Amino acid sequence: MPGNSGILRAIPLYVWVLFGLAAGILWGWLALHYGWTEFSERWVIPWGTLFLRLLQMMAVPIILVSLIKGVGTLEDLRSLSRVGSLTFTYYLGTTALAITIGLTLGTWFQPGKLFSEAQRIEFQHKYAEQVSTKLAQAQAQNRSPLQVLVEMVPPNPFDAFTENRRMLQVIVFAILLGMGLVAIPRSKRMPVLQVIEGLEEALLWLVQKILWLAPPGVFGLMVQIMIDTGGKNLQDTLVALGAYAGTVILGLCVMLLLVYPVLVGVLTGGYPLRFLRSILPAQLVAFSTSSSAATLPVSLRIARTRLNISDSVSGFVLPLGATINMDGTALYQGVATLFIAQAMNIDLTLTQKLEVLLMAVLASVGAAAIPGAGMIMLLVILQSVGIAPEGIALILAVDRPLDMLRTTVNVTSDLTAATLVHHFVHRRKGSHAQNLSDYRSRPERLTR
């Protein structure tokens, strides 16, 4: 991205991306005030769409090859169960913790009680149409909680490859195929893995080139968000929904600045601040795309080049996490459920809150790693505790900025998982984390 000149190359990618982000907000604001929206839609926004499509293009192939390789290169099925059980324990534990934080903050601050009745009716009316569309999608997708399990299995994997929304099915197929590779004799497994490795390398090379487009891409995406939300309108609504948004943001910040750094610091002995700094590019891409799937190629690259996480761990933990581990989404769903209930004068009992917790774990597994997916799954949670799903109209207006932040949390959680699993797997192996000691003693590797 930073062209050929030395000065440009010396500026790290994330600075360029930050610059694109700020410039996009400024341009969007100017476009709204000086009537440049048509020009922006024709000449600026397509750069954002192009960047997003390029990243999305990489999602299915990367998930497929990195998971097959991640599972296939494990020594035996016992190592798979070790990596797998560590990963699932982390995913389940942090997701449950995130919803608990969301429910606690929502109960403390009671943001829903701050709405006047007139406001509630206005919001419901304004978003009635969008709600029915989202509702129809949710009803079509989820009839029973077990439906999530049923839909994890693709009746035809090639069919699943054609749709980014069906990433979980691609993952299930890739894990099963990887297990098959581990089970067959080494002489037959190795040629397949070599092909897969070559493919993976080529895909990651491509990602590196695509990232050159990140600054204009993020610029275009921010202009689009500003124009879509009307800029000023977004600001007004944010003030009205400030308490709700503030509660979600507070919870997400607790995860981002406290839970993950403490986990990394305490469990691996690494430096939490360095960890956060090294994953910043992935966080920025997550923030601007609102899609864990679109961010996956960047997360994989960071895990391998900056965090020195082994290919087998990052190739298994990150694609799986991008699809099923959504702490930020779960936390948001906890606060949103309480907020809507409070706004409608419904007091949820402890049992109902526990039900929300369980449903949010399932919903975050089932939610696609794309913008707005968490909101669709929120409808399922609302219905399960008997809250009119139309209440979602109350939060639609601020959903996009919160989606940006919760996706950042989702991606941070995946990278934390990869760091912890790598640490424990290598420590137990006895080979200990040669990589990890690199990670602690050679900080410059983290700031590349």
Footprint of ligand ASP on this chain (CB under 6 A)?
290-292, 326, 329, 367, 369-374, 403, 406-407, 410
Measure the CA–CA gap between 116 and 120, rounded to whole angstroms: 6
Measure the CA–CA gap between 139 and 152, rounded to whole angstroms: 17
Q: Which is nearer to ligand ASP, 131 or 367 (CB)?
A: 367
Give the residue closest to ligand ASP by C-beta: 374
Do 361 and 95 touch, CB atoms closer than 8 A?
Answer: yes
Measured from the Cβ of residue 5, the count of other Cβ atoms closer than 10 Å reads: 8
What's the min distance (Å) between Cβ of 286 and ligand ASP? 7
Q: Which is nearer to ligand ASP, 309 or 326 (CB)?
A: 326
What's the min distance (Å) between Cβ of 403 and ligand ASP? 5
What's the min distance (Å) between Cβ of 384 and ligand ASP? 18
Q: Which of 345, 347, 351, 352 is nearest to 381 (CA)?
A: 352
Q: Which is nearer to ligand ASP, 95 or 291 (CB)?
A: 291
The alpha helices in 4-156, defined as continuous H runs, are 6-10, 13-34, 37-43, 45-72, 77-109, 117-126, 128-141, 147-150
What's the min distance (Å) between Cβ of 325 and ligand ASP? 9
Helix, strand and coil percent figures for the chain, each rounded to 5: 85, 0, 15
As a three-state string, the secondary structure of 334-345 is: HHHHHHHHHHCC
Q: Which of 248, 247, 304, 289 is nearest to 66 (CA)?
A: 304
What's the min distance (Å) between Cβ of 382 and ligand ASP? 15
Q: Which of 71, 128, 169, 192 is nearest to 392 (CA)?
A: 128
**Residue 329: C-alpha distances to residues 292, 333, 413 (Å):** 11, 6, 11
Q: Which is nearer to ligand ASP, 102 or 371 (CB)?
A: 371
Residues 6+ apart with CB under 8 A from 89: none
Q: Which is nearer to ligand ASP, 314 or 413 (CB)?
A: 413
Return the structure tokens found at 11: 């500026």
What's the min distance (Å) between Cβ of 160 and ligand ASP? 18
What's the min distance (Å) between Cβ of 406 and ligand ASP? 5
Q: Which is nearer to ligand ASP, 282 or 367 (CB)?
A: 367
What's the min distance (Å) between Cβ of 194 and ligand ASP? 32
Q: Which of 332, 263, 257 is nearest to 99 (CA)?
A: 332
Q: Which is nearer to ligand ASP, 370 or 379 (CB)?
A: 370
Q: Which is nearer to ligand ASP, 12 or 372 (CB)?
A: 372
Q: Which is nearer to ligand ASP, 227 or 326 (CB)?
A: 326
Burial of 81 by CB count in 10 Å (0-12 exposed, 13-18 middle, 19+ buried)? exposed
Q: Which is nearer to ligand ASP, 48 or 270 (CB)?
A: 48
Do 302 and 381 touch, CB atoms closer than 8 A?
Answer: no
What's the min distance (Å) between Cβ of 349 and ligand ASP? 26
What's the min distance (Å) between Cβ of 330 and ligand ASP? 9
